Structure 1
Amino acid sequence: MKIINNLFKNRFLALLKKEKNQLLRNKQLIVLLIFIPSIYLMLVGFSLNDDIKNIPFRYVDYANTNDSRELISTFSQSGAFITKPHISEQASSKQQTLSEQVSTADIVVALVIPPDFKRNQNGDETTKVQAIIDGADAATAIIANAYLNEIMNNYIHKLNGNLNSSLIQQEFNIIYNPRLISYWFIVPAVLGLVLTLTSSVAATNSVITEKEAGTLEQLLITPVSAEEIILAKILPLVIVMIGDIILALGMARLIFGLPIRGNIFLFLALGSLYTFVGIGLGMLIGTFSRTHLQASLTSFFINVPLGLISGAVTPLESMPPIFQYISLVNPLRYYVEIMRGILLKGVGLDILWPNVIALFVFAIFLLTVSTSRFRRNLI
């Protein structure tokens, strides 16, 4: 209650004005808080895109029938492959074989259609189509193989028509992201990474600037409490961070087509809650550091692991169990789940409340510890 009663007193307003002016005078920090997150969002959003397209694809069509040409056309129209015919090995002794071209990275996928392709379809024998995939790049090979299987399955289903060739029929329904656009999975995570980085760096800079300028000693002789000093430092940063959230969300919507299926006000409210987590973390780093160099190294040591084990880029399920348990004390994990839940799934507090409680606990803990450390620095 004492802090609330002092909010409207002149000393607090003067302190708040001082923090605002100090923030605005730091041009480099303004660039960091506004322009760098926008650039980072675009760079990471595009570079981490795993929608692999234009895969080099070569084929040898020994059958040369309408069905074989239709199969090749299916690959061409998929948009995943760049299809070109391969000159038959018998036509030119100088021409590289398909296997040689795959080994030299000239192509990623090669397809060989046998001469009996049409005859076997009409008979009782199984038609065999040989595919060669470059597995040096495992990620590309897995996706290319998935594309290949999907196209072949669709082609076989088209040939069979409406004949029920199996007692079991599979039906797949993909919800929330029917087109499997990887941007929609990555961009919310990048928003969380950017917000963590900018809020913690800004808060650290605010504390270190006071230390290096020697103004902490001047604050000792002013009739303000440590809580008022910290609150005056936090409020301008929170306002700037909310502006960053709105800017980044707007860019994600316009550039990446990210849907906003949930309540936008809930998204902003929980984003504001997470800014307190980032600011508390930054102030804690600032209280343990004496210079900007120490603060930068400490921030790098903390923020990078937070991003790696948060499930932001790599699914938590693919990590070893020990890292999955460690991620439970990572606030970014819960915020990423909140953003994806609101933006992609349109869920509300009835589903997200465990993550919200976790963020609230982290915010209270970090702000309490950083406040205690900051008070010791003042004393």
Structure 2
Amino acid sequence: MGSFLDSRLWPLILKEIRQILKNKQIIFLLIFPPTVQLLVFGLALNPDVSNISLGVADYSNSPNSRELVSTIVANDTFEIASYLPSAADIGQQVRTGRISTGLVIPPDFEQQIATKEPAEVQVLIDGVDANTAGISSGYIKQIIRQYGRSLSQSDRVQPVQTTVNFLYNPGLLSSWFFVPGVIGVVLTLTGSLVSSSTVIREKDVGTLEQLLMTPAVGWEILTAKIAPLFVLLMGDVLLASAIARLVFNLPFRSNYFLFLAALGIYVFVCIGIGIILATISKKQQQVILTSLSTGGRL
């Protein structure tokens, strides 16, 4: 330990740490954008919809019609906003935006089921939000189809039943799919951008040429530049892991040290990409645009 502190490498590392701490832009890039990007992308890239307001006009008011409504609102996708007396009121509520989906059950619904005739219900969906409208349409069609299938097969013995279990993401939560990928994107952009900005700034100021005239050899200069950035970016890894666990409730079921080791290699590669981009760039604006473009493609 003493020999390392007495070597030329330690003063170079201390110099890099002081320069990073003095550069408010680098500190900002290391903390603010990764946090905001992870939260925004993790929440925005969520195709799931829940608590869709549902209006019901039940002309039948029979046990089967009430069972159908209960089946539709059994999960968190739909919630009953109001029971309305007529289909015209349902249409008015959808047009004014008070409800997103309307369900109209005809008066002969119970009779059609009893005589095993095809029973029809009307569904009105607000199409202003195309994404929500498409998803809610698919959900309610699937729920009604499953309800109809259960009625037609209630008097039969099922020879084969299929039970599907989703491994690793049993609830099919979208955040569990997106957040790990967003962490990789954030590390790529932050690692390449911060390292390239640090090197290009020294090229602009002229301190890089001064370092080349010191007794320090090339690998010492390069190691001194990489080591502080590596430690700070691994801090970003810990920050991203904490956000994923606390905000998105993303479970971790593996060896955490192996996870850190793999991400450490990835961070090292991103720093190397940033240094290469800074070497071939001439201005800070150029290296920032190149880093964003390269990081986005990677």
For 1:165 and 1:116, locate their aligned partners in 2 and report how far apart those are by CA, in whole Å: 28
Partner residue, 1:88: 86
Give 1:112 deviation, angstroms. 2.1
Partner residue, 1:341: none
Partner residue, 2:223: 231
Partner residue, 2:200: 208
Are 1:186 and 2:178 matched, yes or no?
A: yes
The 5-angstrom pairing of residues 135-284 of structure 1 reads: 135=127, 137-156=129-148, 159=151, 163-164=155-156, 169-284=161-276
Are 1:26 and 2:18 matched, yes or no?
A: no
1:293-349 Cα shifts (integer Å, max 9, x gaps)? 222222232233x2xxxxxxxxxxxxxxxxxxxxxxx4xxxxxxxxxxxxxxxxxxx
For 1:236 and 1:178, locate their aligned partners in 2 and report how far apart those are by CA, in whole Å: 40
Give 1:233 deviation, angstroms. 0.7
Shift of the 287–87 alpha-carbon distance from structure 1 to 2, 3 Å rule, reads farther
Give 1:134 deviation, angstroms. 4.4
For 2:146 and 2:267, locate their aligned partners in 1 and report how far apart those are by CA, in whole Å: 48
Among 68, 72, 76, the residue aligned to 2:69: 72
Shift of the 164–8 alpha-carbon distance from structure 1 to 2, 3 Å rule, reads farther
Amino acid at match of 1:260: F
Structure 2: any 5+ residue segments left out of the alignment?
none
Give 1:268 deviation, angstroms. 0.3
For 2:84 and 2:119, locate their aligned partners in 1 and report how far apart those are by CA, in whole Å: 21
Shift of the 60–51 alpha-carbon distance from structure 1 to 2, 3 Å rule, reads same
Amino acid at match of 1:69: R
For 1:144 and 1:271, locate their aligned partners in 2 and report how far apart those are by CA, in whole Å: 38
Amino acid at match of 2:257: F
CA RMSD of aligned residues (A): 2.7
1:207-254 Cα shifts (integer Å, max 9, x gaps)? 111112111221221122222211211111111111111121022111
Are 1:119 and 2:111 matched, yes or no?
A: yes
Partner residue, 1:354: none
1:180-212 Cα shifts (integer Å, max 9, x gaps)? 111111111121121112111110121111112
3-state SS in 1 of match to 2:215: coil
Amino acid at match of 1:74: T
For 2:159 and 2:145, locate their aligned partners in 1 and report how far apart those are by CA, in whole Å: 17
Conservation of the 8 A alpha-carbon contact between 2:234 and 2:264 = yes
Are 1:11 and 2:8 matched, yes or no?
A: yes
Give 1:118 deviation, angstroms. 0.7
TM-score by length of 2: 0.87
For 2:145 and 2:170, locate their aligned partners in 1 and report how far apart those are by CA, in whole Å: 19
3-state SS in 2 of match to 1:198: helix
For 2:165 and 2:141, locate their aligned partners in 1 and report how far apart those are by CA, in whole Å: 18
- How many residue pairs align between the two structures? 295
Conservation of the 8 A alpha-carbon contact between 2:189 and 2:292 = no
1:97-138 Cα shifts (integer Å, max 9, x gaps)? 63x765676544332212211111111312222334445644
Partner residue, 1:49: 46
Give 1:161 deviation, angstroms. 7.3
Q: Which moved more, 1:135-144 or 1:221-230?
A: 135-144
Query: Whose relative contact order is higher, 1 or 2, with alpha carbons under 8 Å and at least 6 apart?
Result: 2
Structure 1: any 5+ residue segments left out of the alignment?
1-5, 90-94, 307-329, 331-379
